[in-house]
Amino acid sequence: MLALNSAFNGKSILVTGGTGTFGREFCRELLENYKPARVIVYSRDEYKQSVMAEETPYKKKTMRFFLGDVRDQARLIRAMGGVDIVVHAAALKQVPAAEYNPIEFIKTNINGATNVVEAALTAGVSKVVALSTDKAVNPLNLYGATKLCSDKVFIAANSYRGSVGTRFSVVRYGNVLGSRGSVIPLFLEQKQTGKITVTDLEMTRFFMTVQRGVKFVMESIQMMEGGELFIPKIPSCRLQDIIDVLAPDCERETIGMRPGEKLHELLINSDMAHLALEFDNYYIVQPLLHFWQLPSRMKQGKPCAAGFSYASNTNTLWMTKEDIQRECIKIAEDLGYSVGFVTGDSR
């Protein structure tokens, strides 16, 4: 990827869902390492905004907190006045909740995506990046289906931006270690009871730290032309390896997969292979409709072979048990747990 240098200096940047795990880290990185003109948190939870505003990293004159919902297009237009870059991280994400409340997920994840696009075009924003998920690839659950629709909305927006010139791209990656609802905080809590519940010990997942996710999004913003779907190369991990490191002495109960859950994850499926370009540390999936000219920089990418897929169980990059232990220690400290670990051999 390109060196970031001063890519965000003097820019006004708005983050939807800015009080979430990603949003907080993204804002912190901007404030500590760049000189943005404004960093705007756009979210609907006034309590989380007030807590965030009192924390040291965010006590800067450049910070703004804007209360609003992505379901409200007029409010988004108001918030995006004078904004250069938008990072769309707001979404409803819980898989079981989506199955019980499909209309609510559609309103936020699909209609909300449309509102962000329309507001950005109206306000004349320069660049918009939306965050996606592995669950949008061959979706089995409603959450994944809504995120696939969201991805399509953002990519297609490039075809009708007209003279406004707003560019839209998508960044897709797997699970964020330690984020709300992720498996390691759950296992840390269960460890205190002496019993771990697991869906399937052979389950594999893509994992990355939130810091790596933020860096990749920033790099993607700098190099985007509009229409790309950026996918980082990240390591896989077996659920069994996490339990072996985190709670080796605990009882294990296999409870089976939740409705709509996959045994392994996909970031690129074989049907997308002909559109995928491989670079040293990432992939780019080109849009189905070629409404843009391939930039010379992207021509350096290597076309993926027919039938290629990027899946967590066939990945060539894996977390070692030392990697898992190091990340678990960080997460445990952040959550206030005092736990011991058994050092395992590297994979």
Give ∠ CA 26-5-1 in degrees, rounded to 5.
80
Per the structure block, which two tokens stand in for 273?
A: 């292979």
Instruction: Provide the β-strand partners of residue 88.
Output: 16, 130
Contact present, 44 and 69 (Cβ < 8 Å): yes
Q: Which contacts of 178-185 are long-range, i.e. CB under 8 A and separated by 24 or more positions?
A: 178/21, 178/209, 178/210, 178/327, 178/330, 178/331, 178/334, 178/335, 179/21, 179/22, 179/210, 180/20, 180/21, 181/93, 181/94, 183/239, 183/242, 184/242, 184/246, 184/327, 184/328, 184/331, 185/331, 185/335
Identify which of 110, 109, 249, 274 has the alpha carbon closest to the alpha carbon of residue 190. Answer: 249
Per the structure block, which two tokens stand in for 82?
A: 């004078």
Instruction: Provide the β-strand partners of residue 14.
Output: 40, 86
Q: Report the catalytic residues.
A: 135
Residue with tokens 């250069």, as numbered in its chain: 84
Q: DSSP 3-state assignment of 206?
A: strand
**DSSP of 228-271:** -EEEE---EEEHHHHHHHH-TTSEEEE--PPTT--SS-EEE-GG
For residue 89, CA distances in Å to 23, 292, 330, 347 come to 7, 25, 24, 34
Please, which residues have CB within 8 angstroms of residue 89's CB and are 6 or more apart in sequence?
A: 15, 16, 17, 18, 20, 22, 23, 26, 131
